Structure 1
Amino acid sequence: MNLAIIQPVADVRHAARAYRDEVALLAAVLGRAGHAVTLAVLAPDEAGDAARALAEAQPDVILLYVEGLSADAAAKAAGSAASAVGAPLVAFGPHARLCPDACLSLAGAEAVAVAPGPWVVPEYVEARGGRIDSLRTPGLWVKCETGVMRNAAPRPPASLGDEPLPNRGLYTSDQTLDAAGFAPITVARGGEGPSPTEPTGAPGAPGARGSASAPGKPPAPPLPGPAAAPAPWPVLHRPVEAILEEMHEVAAEQLDLGGWSVGNARWTADPAYLEAFAERYAREVGLPLRTVLHAADVTPETAALLARAGCNEVTLPLGSASNLIRTEVLGLDASAEAVAAAAAALRQAGIRTAVAVEIGAPYETPVTIDETVELLRRLAPDRVAARLHWPEPGSASERIAREHEWLVPDPASAYLAGGPAVVPASLSAEALIEAAELLPYRVLRPRVVPLLRLARRVRIPGKGTVYECLVKPFLVPPVRKA
């Protein structure tokens, strides 16, 4: 089959860093099965021109990768493709897993993947060729005559040993490196449990596993298929040999490669795997390495192995000092004590630590912001990664913000423009922006904060504030002094 992957991006910044492992891996799996695969990365002003991008490919099926920030662009691209090409569309990606019903309503949509695309879309493509019943593809919600067939999530593979290398060649070299010259690489998958969008309820009820139902109609009889909830997916590691092969291929193409950003956040959970990886990486690659890790997986032994591999920075997600915000809103299960212990272990091993926090989540107040600053001062990280909160559509955060009427009218546009998507009752948009921008300085350079606040309030006639015109363009993110 001729298959076309469309990847709309939220803005020009995202277009410059467009590489997504899920897209590249899906393309590789489909290519290995003999399908011709093309990729069109569409910037916001190009999303409506999907038809032009598909004209030469003439795809039999369109695969649409959807993220929350680019959901509007994806809808526009789907409409353009449906009107001009007419091929059926399958949505996959993070937003598809969180909001499958919304993605099924896209123009031309035939199915949506509620599990990682590389694990479910290839089977569906083969099913459309008549080999199996496509309606019953695990991990896919599929439109049918009676409504929507909501299939159970697939079982995780026994191993990733047969997984092909991601097809990075679909992207330009600039789209696979960040500003520091680091390339992303995924060394493990899973570890987060079942998808939060998995249907629940009794078999045959609307939205239940293995059932087909349409809004406003009586529940259809249950269709054959598994009804038991799957167990949480384990952390599955790619073979070290495959990772090194991918690294060598990228290094041969990227002469300015500066290092590797390694994921996922649970990849160090297996000490034996980490030891094997660290030994070979240090000997055969040797480039700087950085990663984001779950604090509970960081021990003194883990930190020592990371240091042996050449890891120079680990980011620990904290979210907020507020337990309510961290657990109920952001879904992070790392306690402040676990983050403190992880930071201490990394510091002892000589690895820089960054702690990631989000400002402006539902239930945020001036008090919770001050508590986050105080906690960060006690943690003493080398760097603070602070950003405004983005409530992913379909997440608990978005639901809470919507219920309390804290969402701004156009959350994605506001967020992409540098403003908050959520404005809790006790804060203003301006206060949230200031809090996010000044938080790293409050932790690491508290003496300059009064001057920065003054610069934000003094205006230059006809131009803006002193901060906007003369300070912000030259600010360097603070780091802890050695």
Structure 2
Amino acid sequence: MKVSFVFFTDPPRPFSSSVAQLAAVVRAAGHEASALEVGREERIVDVARRLEAEAADVVAISSMTRDWPGAAGLLRELESDAFVVVGGYHATMAPRDVALSPRVDAICIGEGERPLAALLDRLATGTLDASLPGLWLRADAGFADAPPAADPEPVIDALPRWDYEIFGDVRELLGRGINTFGPHVDGYLPVRASRGCPFTCAYCSAPRWGKVLGLSDARMKNVRDVSALCEELADLRDRYAPEGFEFWDEHFPIPLAWLEAFARAYPRRVGLPFKVEMHPNAATRPRLELLAEAGCVLFHCGVEAGDEALRRDVLDRRSSDARLEQLFADCRELGLPTSASLMTMLPTETRAQAHSTVSLLRKLRPGSIIWSTYQPLPGTVLGEAAVEAWPGPARATVDDYDDLVSRVPADMTELERGETFHELATLQNELVTAAGQAPPRPLDRPTGKRAPSEGLLALLGLSAARVRSARLDPSGLILELAADSFEPREIVLAPLEEGARHYRRAQHLGLSYRGKDAPRALLDCLDAMALRLASATFTELCAAL
């Protein structure tokens, strides 16, 4: 069978982690798959014609709450006999709202990998019935009285690897940029190490999602095995040559034992820079040190609001100002660049509280920010208390809609709203301008001692047994070499400089050793490395570190 996945993006970004995972499942089951991105400014009628041209047997729509009116409008315009299944956060949190669309044949509750594979098998064999776990099927009289329970959360390591190629030429996509965090559009590839989040913020769908999946009593998340994760990332590195990896986990894994194993394995087996997101209360100094040691080049966290009482009492976000200040100070001390997200127009928020957000951010000094206007979501503590119905009628264009009207709006006039937006936009522009004046990845930033990556070993022409550790300090790239014929010794690889004392010189590099009376075997090793690195640059070595 042929499945056409439809996903919505804002800003335009030709990638969806949900579609990447589900497309892999569909193809692994022997079916065809295609993906259709819908941007904010597209006319729904035009999207409908494009979707009809796909001639799919099944149309699978992944939708957030903000996207559902556009998706409903698309289904209203669609002239096709395709079977329509809708999944994602909105379908799970507000299935009865999705069921109001007469064109929807099935609604997926929770994770969709096994339900979608089972649905395609039943459709292909003509044996469709209402017994499929996690699927709410339309009958002749409409949808049954109650949605079914979700399919149990699958073991994430047992799922097929994401299908990146369903979106097109992956290297071309990386050239356009599909990253989320940081001030730069870059070639970082989205990946995931886990699913779920152990925190219970009042505005977020993750806590309710965990309850739907039966995870309400478990603090542990669905976390990947470190060895299997690194093996996959190394394969992605070799296949698509990304600049690095951006982890799209709701919350990067926090168990110290897992992070310690990751910090040991990732630099040696993968060796590319990466970005993560973590709750401020989990980002302790030991965890940050492990991230920096492993090669993290951007730490993102949610600040959300500058007023501590608003964060605590309205958002259930129990991170004090002191905790946030310590976190960002730790990151600066470790040389770990930062990014922060925040919301405005929060329930009961005043102009003074909105201004305090900007004031706090100026004190924290993140390298970039992501800000948005608060939107109530079904299934959340704030959302269920604020909105009568979800989330409005079908519409003709994705961008043609009014915000949900909250019963608990921000306490601001229109003038104060405009002042708040201007203040946030000004700060964001300042950060982007500052970021544009500096390299996105400082290569001379000192690092902790770490195992050499496979990429670095390949450049050096040495085995892991010969190179015990690698690190950057102000003098250059420091390698600890060992052999049967001499005790471990440190050597230095640095940019070639006139007048500097180097034992051996390559075209761009100077090689030297630390200490006196270097054994002949060590000097022979330096001679061989100078030949191997004849045209290599210091930037290449740092990138491989």
* TM norm. shorter chain > 0.5: yes
How far apart are 1:47 and its partner, in Å?
A: 3.4
Q: State the alpha-carbon separation in 1 of the partners of residues 127 and 324 from structure 2.
A: 48
* CA–CA separation in structure 2 for the residues paired with 1:153 and 1:67: 18
Cα 1:229–1:280 change in 2 (3 A) is closer
- CA, structure 1 residues 36+414, in 2 after alignment: closer, same or farther (shift >3 Å)? closer
CA–CA separation in structure 2 for the residues paired with 1:169 and 1:320: 38
User: Is contact 1:30–1:122 with CA below 8 Å preserved after alignment?
Assistant: yes
In structure 2, what is the equivalent of residue 77 of structure 1? 74
Cα contact 1:92–1:114 (8 A) shared by 2: yes
Distance 1:425 1:191, change over 3 A: closer
Q: CA deviation at 1:303?
A: 1.0
1:291 is the counterpart of 2:248 = no
Q: Which runs of 5 or more residues in structure 1 are unaligned?
A: 201-208, 210-225, 445-471
CA change 1:425–1:63 in 2 (3 A) is: closer
Which amino acid is 1:235 matched to?
A: K
Match of 1:186 among 184, 187, 192: 192
Report the CA distance shift for 1:310/1:130 in structure 2 as closer, same or farther (over 3 A): same
1:392–1:242 Cα change, 3 Å = farther
Aligned to 1:264: 249
Q: Give the one of 350, 356, 361 matched to 2:341.
A: 356
**d(CA) in 2 for partners of 1:303 and 1:473?**
26
Q: Distance in 1 between matches of 2:310 and 2:437?
A: 27
Q: Quote how far apart the aligned CAs of 1:354 are.
A: 2.8
- Give 3-state SS (helix, strand or coil) of 2:412's partner: coil
Which of 39, 42, 45 matches 1:45?
A: 42
Conserved in 1, the CA contact under 8 Å of 2:186 and 2:243?
A: yes
Q: Aligned pair in 2 of structure 1 residues 386, 187: CA closer, same or farther (>3 Å)?
A: closer
- 1:111: which partner in 2? 106
Residues 92-241 of structure 1 correspond to what in structure 2 (within 5 A)? 92-128=87-123, 134-144=129-139, 145=141, 147-148=143-144, 149-157=146-154, 159-172=155-168, 173=170, 174-175=172-173, 177-178=178-179, 179-192=185-198, 231-232=217-218, 234-241=220-227
Offset, 1:441: 6.2
Give the alignment partner of residue 63 of structure 1, picking from 55, 60, 64: 60
Q: Distance in 1 between matches of 2:299 and 2:129?
A: 43
Secondary structure, aligned partner of 1:356: strand
**Contact residue 63 and residue 89 of structure 1 kept, 8 A:** yes
* Structure 2: distance between partners of 1:396 and 1:477: 38
Q: How far apart, in 2, do the equivalents of 1:114 and 1:63 lie?
A: 13
Whole-angstrom CA distance in 1 between matches of 2:268 and 2:16: 27
CA distance in 1, matches of 2:20, 2:272: 23
TM-score, normalization by structure 2: 0.64
- Other-structure match for 1:385: 369
Distance in 1 (alpha carbons) for counterparts of 2:430 and 2:266: 38
Shift of 1:151: 0.9
| 8 Å contact kept, 1:318–1:336 | no
Aligned to 1:4: 4
CA deviations over 1:160-193 (Å, ceiling 9, x no partner): 2221110100113355533122222111112358
Q: Distance in 1 between matches of 2:267 and 2:336?
A: 15
Amino acid at match of 1:67: M
Select the residue among 28, 31, 45 that pairs with 1:32.
28
CA distance in 1, matches of 2:327, 2:437: 17
Q: Which runs of 5+ in 2 are unaligned?
A: 180-184, 439-444, 446-545
Q: Could you say if the C-alpha distance between residues 370 and 283 of structure 1 is closer, same or farther in structure 2, counting changes exceeding 3 Å?
A: same
Q: Distance in 1 between matches of 2:262 and 2:236?
A: 18
Give distance in 2, aligned partners of 1:399 and 1:73.
22
Paired residue total: 413
For 1:305-344, what aligned pairs fall within 5 Å after superposition? 305-322=290-307, 325-326=310-311, 330=315, 332-344=317-329
Give the CA deviation at 1:355.
Answer: 2.9
Q: Is it true that 1:243 corresponds to 2:243 in the alignment?
A: no
Quote how far apart the aligned CAs of 1:376 are. Answer: 3.7
**What do the CA deviations read for 1:220-242 (whole angstroms, capped 9, x no partner)?**
xxxxxx9x996457311223344
Of Structure 1 and Structure 2, the greater helix share is in 1
* Native 8 Å contact 1:191 1:232 kept in 2: no
Distance change >3 Å, CA 48–CA 229, structure 1 → 2: same
1:95 Cα offset (Å): 2.6
Supply the AA of the counterpart residue of 1:302: R
Superimposed CA distance per residue, residues 363-403 of structure 1 (whole angstroms, 9 cap, x where no aligned partner)? 1102212333444455x233351523230542555555547
TM-score by length of 1: 0.72
Q: Deviation per CA, 1:405-445: give whole Å up to 9, x if none.
A: xx9xx9984899xx999894642345334324424867x9x
Q: Give the structure, 1 or 2, with the largest relative contact order (CA under 8 Å, sep 6 or more).
A: 2
2:374 maps to 1:368? no
Read off the aligned partner of 1:382 and give its amino acid letter: P
Give deviations 1:305-328, integer Å, cap 9, x for gaps.
Answer: 101111122112121134564356
Larger-Rg structure: 2
The change in CA–CA distance for 1:335 and 1:278 in structure 2 (over 3 A counts) is same
Provide the secondary structure at the position in 2 that maps to 1:314.
Answer: strand
- Aligned counterparts, 1:376-415, within 5 A: 376-378=361-363, 380-383=364-367, 385-394=369-378, 395-398=380-383, 402=387, 413=399
Q: Is the 8 A contact 1:353 1:382 kept in 2?
A: yes
CA distance 1:299–1:287, change in 2 (3 Å): same
Aligned equivalents of 2:128 and 2:254: distance in 1? 38
Identity of aligned residues (%): 22
Quote how far apart the aligned CAs of 1:357 are.
1.8
User: How far is 1:109 from its partner?
Assistant: 0.6
Query: Residues 196 and 75 of structure 1: is their aligned pair in 2 closer, same or farther, counting only changes over 3 Å?
Result: farther
